[in-house]
Amino acid sequence: MPFDEIRKQAISQWEALQHSEQPRILVGTATCGRAAGALAVLEAIDKELSRLGIEATITQVGCIGLCYAEPLVDIIKPNRPRICYGGVTPEIISQLIQDYIVDDNPRPDLALGTIGEESIDGIPRLFELPVFKPQVRISLRNCGHIDPTDIKQYIANGGYSGLVKALAMTPEEVIEEVKKSGLRGRGGAGFPTGQKWEFCRRSPGKEKYLICNADEGDPGAFMDRALLESDTHAVLEGMLIGAYAIGATQGYIYCRAEYPLAIERLTIALAQMAEYGLLGDNILGSGFNFQIAIKEGAGAFVCGEETALMASIEGKRGMPRSRPPFPAVSGLWAKPTNINNVETWANVSAILHKGAEWYASFGTETSKGTKTFALAGKIANTGLIEVPMGIPLGDIIYEIGGGIVGNKHYKATLTGGPSGGCLPANLLNLPVDYENLAQAGSIVGSGGMLVVDEDTCMVDMARFFLAFCQDESCGKCVPCRVGTRQILNILERITEGEGQPGDIERLEQLAQLVRSTSLCGLGQTAPNSVLTTIRYFREEYEEHILGHRCPAGVCKSLVAYHSLVDRCMPCLITVAGYEVGGYSTLKEALSEVDRAIIIEEAKSSGCVVDVVRFLMTCAQSESCGECVPCRLGTTQILGLLEDIASGRGSLAHLDLLVEIGNTVKMTSQCPFGQNVSELLLDTLESSRDEYEAHIRENGCPRGVCKVPISYHTVCPIRSAVKAPEEGVLVTVSA
């Protein structure tokens, strides 16, 4: 069948679907959706629809990018705009089917927004929300809108039109078009794509290869996974165009094994292409032949480097080699080879479809078009975004990303994964493009953006990235193998409290050395995280080395927590006047079995509120501070208890105590916080009358609660004798 016929058919099927008399339900089932429970939602939809006897079309779509709100379900009723619902659970979807599909109540309280011309009262338009408004979607154009396993839906939305256009041009004209668009490699280095193709085109030889690099190894990056899972054909079409321009006959997709769903969807897509004459011999009757094979990675970060990747395809150890010769001259099997990243290929298909000028109208002078970023970390709206090059960093973090979670302070954005660097608060106005980020010491990289807040230690972050690079170093060249190890040794020393004066300078010197002498990109970029954290957070390093403290409270050896409670507990309990059993440690006293005994004994010997107040004081001091619920929760609980004990309490205090207690119980990382809050909750339930009596009588009815409690994490007697540096670190007195 000629392609025009296929397209006509695809469009009429798509139109019929759009004007279907049946309600349609779209469920986002990319990996992020699945991790949040999309498959359970899908099952619930099937069940509920058949229970109610409703006929509806269910489509599994990819990822629209709002990962923070997964699982996402869109419902389209005939003649109504499409409504997108977030955070859908099996219970919510059953309710939605009843309320909206059966009863026609669109439930604005559950909706994120509408998609389409018309709107519905009380529901904002999705693409006008701050999270979408600054975005321009080119490579993600179809993500979340079409079924990636249906080639016809892709064709109906302009798919393979770029290929048809390209095949009507000469290969040189295609290269010229890509050059005119200003597209630069999206894998990280930013080399002009058209130029790269030209080198390969001009290389002599009949046998040429083309590779799609889908070995997205940067931790914190998932753009390529989402793209491959959500709009597979956009990438494959780009590869066909590239192959035609270069004169390649065999293509490979090198995809990491950690992305099984992407591999599954690629396999489906390749079969469909063959079926429609888009793969194999004489593609669309043009005389152009091209085959694509999938190669699964085997878990080596360095294989994202092009020469290592080719070695891996050849079945060897994935170790890079020196360039030149560049792959364009001698690549896979020593033949001219062109490698581009997933996102680059998806942009190519859009450029050929809509034209170079249109593409170049986005972005800045030197960085044209758009870039996808994977937002992760301590940010409200984590997910996948695509923005024009040159957008200020702050717009990404605060507008699209919705700012930092939990009223914390922004500390830095880490771009480019382990190869990148950090961008502190004073660079929030920095336009994000290749040049500006490089100047700031970081890189655009493949597009991971990890946002960290005040609770992250930058020295520890540098140590983390260096440990990653050191682990993944292939070991071929000395600067990378030995140099990263040496840098890591120093960083480990600093985070363990053994830092020495001069370490910062040693780090800088080593980092420069590794950067300038390593064989491949892995070693050359590995020191970026150290250099930028020193550049922007030097005082944190100094604090670790000279002040022996970790300001963020992350590096355990440097956190001011030296509990001697094992020794002091019996003493303190007696001091405070309570004989609550013979417990030797607070932890033991707070274990599940003993809580009941403590409450019992407290009731008979004194005042429950006072015992809880006492134990909470100990707990607040003993909290190691690593997790927020325990650290801050116990402080807040203690404040409320002090109010009640001193006669400033109200019934609202009790409600707050229950609320905070439950939060601490549910979210604390270890049993300590959980047990402490359970003790509080137990007494609030079993002895509520005592609490109420304190409130009613403006203080303790038995006059017990008046005594202020003083509790030290270090035995007060010891600390009085010893010098403070070994002693008192946290003191709480009321």
Partner 1 sequence: MHERLLPVLAPYRGQRGALIPVLQKVQEEIGYLPEEAISEIAKFLGLSQNEIYGVATFYAQFRFERQGEHTVKVCQGSACYVQGGRRILDTVEQELGIQPGGTTEDYKFSLERVACFGSCALAPVMVVDKTVYGRMTTAKARQQLAEHQRE
Binding site for partner 1 (CB under 8 A): 31-32, 34-36, 67-68, 70, 216-222, 224-226, 257-260, 295-296, 298-301, 312-319, 333, 374-378, 382-384, 414, 417-418, 448, 450, 452, 456, 461, 464-465, 468, 472, 474, 627, 667, 669-670
Nearest to 658 by CA among 666, 647, 648: 666
Tell me the two tokens of residue 541.
């390093």
Which one, 339 or 705, has the nearer CB to partner 1?
Answer: 339
Nearest to 222 by CA among 184, 191, 192, 262: 262
Euclidean distance between CA atoms 152 and 159, whole angstroms: 9
Angstrom distances, CA of residue 124 to CA of 110, 127, 134, 224, 237: 12, 9, 16, 29, 35
User: What is the closest distance, in whole angstroms, from the C-beta atom of residue 458 to partner 1 in the complex?
Assistant: 12
What type of residue is 551?
Answer: P
Q: From the CB of 674, what's the least distance to partner 1, in Å?
A: 9
Q: How far is the CB of 231 from partner 1 (least distance, A)?
A: 16
Residues 6+ apart with CB under 8 A from 680: 612, 616, 637, 657, 661
Rounded to a whole number of angstroms, the minimum distance from the CB of residue 115 to partner 1 is 21
CB of 341 to partner 1, least distance (A): 14
In the complex, least distance from residue 293 CB atom to partner 1, rounded to whole angstroms: 10
Helices 478-495, 458-472: axis angle to 10 degrees equals 150
| Nearest distance, CB of residue 649 and partner 1, angstroms | 32
- Environment class of residue 621 by beta-carbon count within 10 Å: exposed (0-12), middle (13-18) or buried (19+)? buried
Strand partners, 296: 255
CB 51 to partner 1: min, Å: 26
Pick the closer one to partner 1 by CB: 216 or 399: 216
Q: Which is nearer to partner 1, 414 or 444 (CB)?
A: 414
Q: In whole angstroms, how close is the CB of 439 to partner 1 at the nearest point?
A: 23
Q: For residue 291, report the phi and psi dihedrals to the nearest 5 degrees.
A: -120, 150
The first and second tokens of residue 717, run together, are 């007697």
Choice between 383 and 479, CB closer to partner 1: 383
Judged by CB, which is closer to partner 1: 465, or 614? 465
> Minimal distance in Å, beta carbon 422 to partner 1?
11
Collect all residues with Cβ–Cβ distance below 8 Å to 658 and sequence separation of at least 6. Answer: 681, 684
Q: What's the closest the beta carbon of residue 342 comes to partner 1, in angstroms?
A: 12
Side chain identity at residue 239, one-letter code: M
Q: Least CB distance from residue 457 to partner 1, whole Å? A: 11
Which CA distances in Å does 348 have to 153, 186, 664?
A: 19, 11, 50
Nearer to partner 1, 177 or 229 (CB): 229
Q: Residue 35 Cβ, how far from partner 1 at the closest point, in Å?
A: 3
Please say which residue, 210 or 638, places its beta carbon nearer to partner 1: 210
Which of 331, 334, 335 is CA-nearest to residue 309?
Answer: 331
CB burial class (10 A; 0-12, 13-18, 19+) of residue 502? exposed
Strands 337-341 and 209-214: parallel
CB 610 within 8 A of CB 704: yes
Complex with partner 1: residue 296 or 508, whichever CB lies closer: 296
Shortest spacing between CB 381 and partner 1, in angstroms: 9
Nearer to partner 1, 194 or 417 (CB): 417
What is the CA angle 188-189-192, rounded to 5? 115
| DSSP character at residue 87 | S
User: Taking the complex as a whole, how short is the minimal distance between the CB of residue 225 and partner 1, in angstroms?
Assistant: 4
Nearer to partner 1, 474 or 644 (CB): 474
CA dist 201 and 204 (Å) reads: 8
- How many CB atoms neighbour CB 69 within 10 A? 20
Shortest spacing between CB 222 and partner 1, in angstroms = 4
Nearer to partner 1, 120 or 628 (CB): 628
Tell me the closest approach of the beta carbon of residue 337 to partner 1, in angstroms: 13
Of the pair 56, 457, the CB lying nearest partner 1 is at: 457
Residue 423: alpha-carbon gap to chain centroid: 17
Alpha helices in 133-213 (DSSP H): 151-156, 161-167, 171-181, 193-202
Query: Sign (positive/negative) of CA torsion 399, 429, 187, 467?
Result: negative
What tokens does 7 get?
A: 């397209």
Place of tokens 């409703």: 54
Return the number of the residue (177 or 218) whose C-beta is nearest partner 1: 218
Q: What residues contact residue 351 under an 8 Å CB cut-off, 6+ apart?
A: 162, 177, 178, 181, 183, 359
Is 568 exposed, middle or buried, given 0-12, 13-18 or 19+ CB atoms closer than 10 A? Answer: buried
Residue nearer to partner 1 on the CB measure, 68 or 288: 68
Do 349 and 238 form a contact (C-beta atoms < 8 A)?
yes
Rounded to a whole number of angstroms, the minimum distance from the CB of residue 494 to partner 1 is 18
Half-sphere exposure of residue 488: CA atoms within 13 angstroms, side-chain side? 17
- Residue 232: which of 458, 62, 457, 407 has the closest Cα? 62
What is the C-alpha R_g of the chain? 31
Cα angle, residue 195 at apex, residues 191 and 199 outer, rounded to 5°? 115
CA 656 vs CA 175, 402, 636: distances in Å: 66, 27, 10
Give residue 442's identity as a one-letter amino acid code: S
